[in-house]
Structure 1
Amino acid sequence: MDTADPVTTTDTTSSRMGTTSDWDAVNFNAPGATYPEITDSDIDVRGNEDYAIYSLDETILFDTDQSQLRSGAETKLEQVATSVTQRFSGGDIRIYGHTDKQGSAGYNKELAEQRAEAVKNWLTENGDVAASRISVHPVGESDPVASNETAAGRQQNRRVEIVARRSNSN
């Protein structure tokens, strides 16, 4: 499956985030990256010198069918916030919420949005990241990375991806 450009979303806040084509260069299959400030193995980082994709499994952040952050999620988000602030100061951030295909598409999109908003709220309230830098993109079930036919595949599909880019002025 080609997922180099896996996500098409409509978001009214994206106009302040630059043109869509600016984000088209983000390869969600980018190679893994190692940052010394990310010490938690639950945080998968991919990217290059222009952007990073911080991916967290839904069970790390949320209970099943919930959008309230679990206890313990804060330590993981602290590492992401530190890395984003250190490496992408002033750059734009998109938070993508993904679900599996269980339930209706509408429910999944709503849950994905609520989860992405919860992460955004944590980053702005506790991670010292300006809300004006962040947009939320609820993907729902439309961009699976694995089969929804198996429990293991569905688990891989339930995730939050935080994509941070360098500022155009860097």
Structure 2
Amino acid sequence: MYSPRFIHCLVSITASIVAGTFLQSTTINSEGSFTNARQSQAQKVQVLSVEFPQQQVPIVRFPRDVYPEIKFSEITQPQIQVQANKHLTIITIPTSLLFECGKHHIAEKAEKALNQVSQAINNRYSGSWLQILGHTDSKGSSKDNLQLSEQRAVAVQQWLSKQHHLNVSMVTTQGYGETQPIVSNTRFDCFERAIARQKNRRIEIVIQKLDHQV
């Protein structure tokens, strides 16, 4: 399991879960005391309002003011972004480098990007916990997008394990579908919207740093 420090960092910085409140009020109309059954039966109980909690998806964000962008010598592809602070490193890979459109199998073209990322992880973060997060844009159904994001995260985990002997017991995967856009999918014209959607389709590898790692 993750260490308390990692859970605290990831939850406190990137997660916000908002639930509704359960409200129930009653009015009781009765006369006299409640000392006999007849008087008890005279009670009139009215439920005025009941609002049940609604579970919200945690908000996962890695803002640059908290996680500044840095460079790794192992990673030369400009589309791959690396951010880090004292506790976490986040490597963001556009899915266009890894998958064909709408697919979840690792494409042949992904080898260069994944080799560079794997080399950086092995050189710098051996023995660290990793979480691989999958994201899509908002095209298609939310159910299909969630499934695709989950499948892609698992595909990256399996590839790294098979090709570079990544210890899968140190890695978890999570798909968020279309729920965590970096840029709005809808507020722009067609050209800008296409660019926004491309940015939102991504894989994020979140690395918990050990105390001696920078």
Q: TM-score, normalised by structure 1?
A: 0.84
Contact 1:61 1:70 in 2 (8 A): yes
Residue 162 of structure 1 is matched in structure 2 by: 205
Gaps of 5+ in 2: 15-60, 187-192
Return the structure number with greater relative CO, CA threshold 8 A, min gap 6.
1
- Runs of 4+ in structure 1 off by over 2 angstroms are 17-20, 22-27, 48-51, 167-170
Q: TM-score, normalised by structure 2?
A: 0.67
For 2:116 and 2:80, the matched residues in 1 are separated by 9
Matched residue pairs, number?
155
Residue 62 of structure 2 is matched in structure 1 by: 28
Could you tell me how far 1:168 is from its partner in structure 2? 5.6
Root mean square deviation, CA, Å? 1.7
1:71-101 Cα distance to aligned partner (Å, 9 max, x none): 1211111111111111111111010100011
1:31-73 Cα distance to aligned partner (Å, 9 max, x none): 1111111122121111134322111111111111100111121
For 1:113 and 1:53, the matched residues in 2 are separated by 18
Residue 168 of structure 2 is matched in structure 1 by: 131
Could you tell me how far 1:126 is from its partner in structure 2? 0.8
Larger Rg: 2
Gaps of 5+ in 1: 1-15
* AA matched with 2:210: S
* AA matched with 2:79: D
Matches within 5 A, 1:5-154: 16-19=1-4, 20-24=7-11, 25=13, 28-29=62-63, 30-149=67-186, 150-154=193-197
For 2:207 and 2:126, the matched residues in 1 are separated by 9
Using the aligned pairs only, state the percent identity.
33
